Structure 1
Amino acid sequence: MFRFLVLALVLVNSVYFAWSQGLLQTFGFAPVQQTEPQRMGQQIKPDALRVLTAQDLRLTETAARVAARPAECLQAGVFDEAQGAVLRRTLESALPAGSWTLDAVVEPARWIVYMGKYTNAEALAKKRSELASLNLKFEPLTNPELGLGLSLGGFETQAAANAALDAFSRRGVRTARVVQERAEVGGVMLRLPAVDDTLRTRLDALTPVLAGKALSPCQ
């Protein structure tokens, strides 16, 4: 009996081996073929595939974000007649034609609610501390002739500045007054309507002729 079982096991194994190797295909018995060689012909440039490291992936993502950055409109000014003339010459040589304009503008007068002048930096710091205790904000001055001093806000008309001064007085401010920080100024405004990545690389050439005025998003 044991000998019969051994022979049966050997026979079953032999049949399975022949089936798995396709030796019984002529009798209609064969395993399903798992390979699909036709897919090899459908591959597109398989030699171009490569495995990216984590650093490669970060660089690729960064490059994609930079490439996708849209063009933006930038402006700077106002420039007076002499500044505008120097700027125009630089623009004509540094940037492509049609990528910039110099538009005539009038910058309105500016009135401020002013506190000062103070005798020294210590007195100025003391006044800033007092304003902070009243929850009042101050802003930097653009007219150097008014330093050492503080501005509680800028306005386009003297009437608007006077109204603000009355409001500050009701909040405990006693020594402020309205002064004209800047008179009406005519000049030109630089406008770059579509600054893309190519144009951005050329903007450094403008820095020396911008008279300290920074490029900012168009308004």
Structure 2
Amino acid sequence: MLRWVITLLVLANAGFYAWTHGHLSALGFAPSEQREPERLQAQIQPETMHLLNAPEPQKPASEPAAEPPAPATTPAEAARAAPAGPTAPTTPPAPAVPTEPLLPPTSCWYAKGFTTAQIEPLEKRLLDLALPKGSWRIQEVRSGGRWVVYMGRYNDELMDKKKEELKELKVEFRTLNDPPLGPGLALGTFSTEAAAEQGLSNVARKGVRSARVAKDREETVTHTLRLSEITAEEREAVLRLGPEFLAGKSLQPCG
């Protein structure tokens, strides 16, 4: 049964092929030809179709009128018309800081031992030099009087004898060679007369009988010139005053 069905299908396909290709035209079984105008008329024309409730098409904007060509520019005009490129930000210069002028180096010098009679004319001459204020000053130095428990004056023979006696009494002493007290012996040195009187009492209790209180040095007043901040040029100006005003004193560096 299946074989007959397949055979019929093959025969049907062969007959359809022969019919469509015009092999059966002699038997009056030619297929009908469809001409191009008729086919085109039968086609649906999509451009004639309209959608219901469709929005109206927008009218195309009118094309802008063509601009006239720009006139040719010279290179110089193009350079002037070209926008300037961005410039780097410039940092304003820092304000100038005033600097103090360099001062010459200074040093410290002094001379001491001036008496009142010597220092007064020297001070006047220093004022005439117009040295900077505060660069020099004059200091007064007071040395108080000095007292000793004294024995003397002795010749050499008597000096040796008194020394032996003091050693036996275990009393300390020192030899005075310079006048007005020398040659003699000092059994103690004191800054006040009252202290010297007390020292005399102490040695008297030890057996000393010939001692007394004597003034070894009078109270003195001297002056010191101190040039604390002077330049080398100012120091030379002071030295040019000479021994007449410096009284033979030399300037020494401050220690």
Q: TM-score range by the shorter chain?
A: 0.3 to 0.5
TM-score (normalised: structure 1): 0.41
More relative contact order in 1 or in 2 (CA 8 Å, sep 6+)?
A: 1
Q: Which has the larger radius of gyration?
A: 2
| Alignment TM-score, normalising by the size of structure 2 | 0.36
